[in-house]
Amino acid sequence: MKLSSRYNQVNIFTSLIALIITGVIYYVVIHFILTDKLDKDLAVEENEINQYVKTYQKLPLPASYIDQQVHYKEVKEINQAREFSYTTYYNAKEQEIEPGRSLITTIALNDKKYVVTITKSRVESEDLVRIILFITLGITCFLLISLILINRFVLNSLWKPFYTLLNQMKAYQVSRMGKINRVPTKIDEFNELNDSAIAMAASVQQDYKELKSFTDNASHEMMTPLAVINSKLDSLLQTEPFTKSQGALLEDIYQAVGRLSRLNQSLLLLAKIENNLIPDLQDIDMKELLESKIRQFQELFEKDGLQLIHQLESCQLRMSKYLVDILMNNLFSNAVRHNHKGGLIEVRLQKDSLQLINTGRDAGLEGQLFDRFSKSAPSEGLGLGLAISKQICALYGFTIAYTYQNEKHFFTVHF
């Protein structure tokens, strides 16, 4: 739920309740006031009748006006208290029963006792109350509608800077060295948000840069000692004879050093691709390249008795020769390394995609295949091949995806 619609809900709900309550109070108060006025009028009439009786010692004529009627009724005993009450009366002119308010009182005249009923029409005051009610209702509706409209249009435009900023943050990618631009607004909160977002992006970028240059520098710095170890090992090897166990030790060291330097080079390469430091763009004929790769890997295919099926359409790409080479090497090496003896490798090149399909020892792979250092336990690889492949693809806007179907592993690159 959007903040504005939530705000709308609360706003409209409370306004509605407030308006209903005030409406009710309004109605009750007005009603009370009008009734009070009627009662006063009735009292005045009573007073006039009393005056008349006192002066003339007789009852005034029972008058019957349009909106006022006076009745007299002789009674023996006065057991009627003075009281106001709501009644109805017959309006002779309109020929209909109308609501009224009557005052029942008593009067004594020459030993006779009368009950006097003075009735006044309530129509006017009822009408007045009704009009007031309608006006109140009208104002309520108008208020609600204008509230909704304000919320819809004004709030939306008020929140605009927020959404602009939000979209920028969504699109922000630290690896692309993107920037968050200032959204012009006069609202303090948004300005503050804006500042914080910009500051955060800058500090994230700074950290990212430092981390990257750290990888780069660390790998570089490691190269020299590695070169020393390597050359010293080579020199040591020339000082034979060794015993057999010394030979085995040396071999193990060679393996480890070799692995370490490959690891180091891969990390450096990753850092370089991320920094887009490999600019040598050129037109690559993928069909030609793949044919030469297939030749290059022929020996490996044969060794494991792998059957190769290829289906190559012509495809032109513009990328670094160096990187496309690495990408193809990684994909082919994986297809060979994770295959079983007598397995199958299929290469399908189309105008906009390349697919490498291979049978394999493992069932479908799961998890973060393209993450750094993710690899199956028995794998001899460094666990960087696919991470590098993914980076290379990302650099040129390609996508690389993995699927597992019919006991085959599919690696698909969409150009």
Q: Give the Cα separation of 67 and 119 in Å (integer).
A: 8
Q: How many chain residues touch other proteins (CB under 8 A)?
A: 52
**Is residue 228 a contact residue for other proteins (CB under 8 A)?**
yes
Name the residue nearer to other proteins (CB basis): 241 or 367: 241
**Is residue 234 a contact residue for other proteins (CB under 8 A)?**
yes
Interacting residue with other proteins among 235, 397, 406, 407 (CB under 8 A): 235
Collapsed DSSP state (helix, strand, coil) of residue 308:
strand
Name the residue nearer to other proteins (CB basis): 103 or 382: 382
Instruction: Tell me the Cα Rg of the chain.
Output: 48
Q: Give the Cα separation of 203 and 184 in Å (integer).
A: 22
Alpha carbon distance, N-terminus to C-terminus of the chain: 38
> From the CB of 167, what's the least distance to other proteins, in Å?
37
Q: Give the Cα separation of 140 and 133 in Å (integer).
A: 10
Q: Which stretch binds other proteins (CB under 8 A): 14-22, 38-46, 194-202, 375-383?
A: 375-383
**Is residue 256 a contact residue for other proteins (CB under 8 A)?**
no
**Is residue 391 a contact residue for other proteins (CB under 8 A)?**
no
Place of tokens 């309006």: 91
CA-based nearest residue to 274, from 383, 401, 390: 390
**Is residue 278 a contact residue for other proteins (CB under 8 A)?**
yes
> From the CB of 373, what's the least distance to other proteins, in Å?
15
**Is residue 254 a contact residue for other proteins (CB under 8 A)?**
yes
**Is residue 303 a contact residue for other proteins (CB under 8 A)?**
yes
Q: Give the Cα separation of 321 and 312 in Å (integer).
A: 19
Cα angle for residues 79, 83, 86 (degrees, 5° grid) = 125
**Neighbouring residues of 11: CB distance < 8 A, sequence distance ≥ 6:** 147, 151
What single string gives the DSSP state of each residue in 196-209? HHHHHHHHHHHHHH
Q: Which stretch binds other proteins (CB under 8 A): 8-16, 93-101, 132-140, 330-338?
A: 330-338
Name the residue nearer to other proteins (CB basis): 57 or 238: 238
**117: number of Cβ within 10 Å:** 19
**Is residue 306 a contact residue for other proteins (CB under 8 A)?**
no
**Is residue 232 a contact residue for other proteins (CB under 8 A)?**
yes
Task: Count Cβ neighbours within 10 Å for each residue of 127-151 and write b for 16 or more, e otherwise.
Answer: eebeebeeebeeebeeeeeeeeeeb
87, 100 contact by CB (below 8 A)? yes
**Is residue 218 a contact residue for other proteins (CB under 8 A)?**
no
> From the CB of 154, what's the least distance to other proteins, in Å?
56
Q: Which stretch binds other proteins (CB under 8 A): 99-107, 113-121, 128-136, 273-281?
A: 273-281
> From the CB of 370, what's the least distance to other proteins, in Å?
17
CA-based nearest residue to 105, from 119, 87, 94: 119
Interacting residue with other proteins among 12, 132, 218, 300 (CB under 8 A): 300
> From the CB of 228, what's the least distance to other proteins, in Å?
4
117, 71 contact by CB (below 8 A)? yes
Q: Give the Cα separation of 346 and 355 in Å (integer).
A: 8
**Is residue 262 a contact residue for other proteins (CB under 8 A)?**
yes
Strand partners, 354: 349, 413
Name the residue nearer to other proteins (CB basis): 138 or 342: 342
List of residues contacting other proteins (CB under 8 A): 220, 223-224, 226-232, 234-235, 237-238, 240, 242, 244, 246-248, 250-251, 254-255, 257-258, 261-262, 265, 268-269, 272, 277-278, 280, 296, 299-300, 303, 320, 322, 325-326, 329-330, 333, 336-337, 380-382, 385
